[in-house]
Amino acid sequence: MNHEFDEIRPFAEGEIKQAVNSLLADRQFSRMLKGFVPWMPKWVRNGLIRLAFIGVNTPLQFQLRFMKPVVKYILRKCSTGCTFAYSGIEPGPERYTFISNHRDIVLDSAILDLMLHEHKFPTTCEIAIGDNLLIYPWIKTLVKLNKAFTVKRGLSPRELLESSQTMSRYMHYAIQEKHENIWIAQREGRAKDSSDQTQESLLKMFAMAGEGEIVDRLKELNLVPLSISYEYDPCDYLKAQEFQQKRDNPSFKKSKQDDLDNMKTGIMGKKGRIHYEATPPINNWLDELAELPKTEVFTEIARRIDKQIHAGYQLYPGNYVALDLLQGTSDYADKYTSEEKKTFETYLQSRIDLVQVENKDEAFLRERILTMYANPVLNKQKALQ
């Protein structure tokens, strides 16, 4: 084990038992469990958890025994199914860094892990997660059991540089020496308007470690753009609400409770159809950029990653309805039926009705939600031109 990364890495083999003991000793975790089975005495709950952990010695075993059935349950209850397509990658010894658009704080990586397992890939992913979401000790313990490594937020410029260098070294170590896959979002936080763009600073962080020139360092991570498409975003009304709150009060910031509410809503809210599309690795074209000036390399890589992610979107009738309603046209009427249009309009109003904010501006909220569903159409059209 490389102890340089102890502060950010997931739990390793041999650390699971201690992690479980710390969970069971945590009062907030116990209260959370009690909410699921209020009739069950604490000693029985804890005993059953300890029993369930027999034979679980690694985070991968934890994922397969605990997270797999949980994610399958969520998909059955909250979606009409998930499909997974991939080209240019295959189950085998090669490992990948999946860089994806960001739809859900918890489920983006959890569903990918399930898809990889069900399609016979030999392992799942280590998951990059911001430490701003680890608001309670039990959450930090749980995500580290689930193969998560932490990304530090809210740092000074000097601290940010040091943290980025450490994380870059860790990602190269995870791929090259631990032989793990990695999942990471293409930007910090979710794109509130669903117009997904890769942050160049993220790519620069990737290239801080490794050997050789920029292209060689990025090749070591074997980056695979991953496109995630939801028919319905459970947090769409919360995002629209936040847009109005920031419009009315530019200094508005979400609270820790807001983050928790977003996580709960994202996990258990209605999603409709879900599609994951892993596009070919960028190693296929990275060598084409070797002669570019360094100041242009990351801009071009970000542009090409975005193009692959946008081209991989699965579009649903609601996306086309939203674009027509937003533009006041019927240009895409051949993409949906009158019944599908009515269904989406009813859904749209139901989401606006859920917003709870002072001086509620329904026209503004409507425009924001429509934009969220229309942008994937516009971005995919541009990518395919």
Asked if residue 36 has pLDDT above 80, the reply is: no
Structure tokens at 128: 């990059």
> For the domain that residue 274 is a member of, what is the CATH number?
3.40.1130.10
Residue at a domain's end among 250, 284, 313: 313
Q: Pick from 313, 337, 370: which residue ends a domain?
A: 313
For residue range 319-330, what is the model confidence (pLDDT) as tens digits? 999 999 999 999
> Residue 146's closest CA among 51, 75, 67?
67
**Tokens encoding 141:** 């313990």
What integer is the mean pLDDT of 306-318?
98
pLDDT of residue 34: 77
Residue 69, domain member (yes or no): yes
Number of domains into which the chain is organized:
2
- Please report whether residue 17 resides in a domain: no
Whether the per-residue pLDDT at 224 is higher than 80: the answer is yes
- Say yes or no: 294 and 153 in one domain: yes
CA distance 19 to 67: 16
Q: How far apart are CA 368 and CA 238, in angstroms?
A: 11
Residues 308 and 328 in one domain: no
Residues 206 and 338 reside in one and the same domain: no
Position 1 confidence tier, pLDDT thresholds 50, 70, 90: low
Look at residues 316, 332, 335 and name the one whose alpha carbon lies nearest to residue 324: 332
Tell me the mean pLDDT in the region 377-384: 97
Residue of 96, 251, 111, 242 whose CA lies nearest to 176 = 96
Tens digits of per-residue pLDDT, 255-267? 878 887 888 899 9
Q: Is residue 214 part of a domain?
A: yes
209 and 324 within one domain: no
Phi/psi-derived region of residue 210, left when phi > 0, alpha when psi is between -120 and 50, beta in every other case: left
Q: Do 203 and 332 fall into the same domain?
A: no
The residue among 278, 313, 348 that closes a domain is 313
Contacts 24+ apart (CB under 8 A), 362-370: 364/243, 364/244, 364/247, 365/237, 365/240, 365/241, 365/243, 365/244, 367/326, 368/193, 368/239, 368/240, 368/243, 368/244, 369/236, 369/237, 369/240, 369/322, 370/322, 370/323, 370/325, 370/326
Structural domain including 106 reads 60-233+269-313
Query: Same structural domain for residues 361 and 300?
Result: no
118, 184: one domain: yes
- 3-class SS of residue 354: helix
254 or 289, greater pLDDT: 289
Counting residues of the chain whose pLDDT is more than 70, the rounded percentage is: 99
Which of 26-35, 179-188, 223-232 has the lowest average pLDDT?
26-35
At 330-368, the pLDDT tens digits run 999 999 999 999 999 999 999 999 999 999 999 999 999
pLDDT for residue 156 is more than 80: yes
Confidence (pTM): 0.93
pLDDT tens profile 92-104: 999 999 999 998 8
301 and 351 housed in the same domain = no
What b/e sequence results for 193-220 when a residue is b if at least 16 CB atoms lie within 10 Å of its CB, and e otherwise?
bbbbbbebebbebbbbbbeeebbebbbb
Do the domain assignments include residue 263? no
Pair (308, 206) in one structural domain:
yes
Among the listed ranges 14-23, 34-43, 246-255, which one has the minimum average pLDDT value? Answer: 34-43
User: Is 3 within the bounds of a domain?
Assistant: no
Same-domain pairing of 285 and 152:
yes
- Same-domain status, 323 and 217: no
User: DSSP state, 25?
Assistant: H
In a domain, 137, yes or no: yes
Q: To which H or E segment does residue 263 belong?
A: helix 256-268
Q: pLDDT digits over 178-216, tens only?
A: 999 999 999 987 888 899 999 999 999 999 999 999 999
Torsion sign across C-alpha atoms 47, 12, 133, 63: negative
For residue 166, is it within any domain?
A: yes
Q: Decide if 272 contacts 232 (C-beta within 8 A).
A: yes
Does the residue 19 lie in any domain?
A: no
For 269-303, how does the pLDDT look when each residue is reduced to its tens digit (9 = 90+)? Answer: 999 999 999 999 999 999 999 889 888 999 999 99
Are 91 and 141 part of one and the same domain? yes
Read off φ and ψ for residue 297, nearest 5 degrees: -60, -50
Separation between Cα atoms, residue 308 and residue 327, nearest integer Å: 26
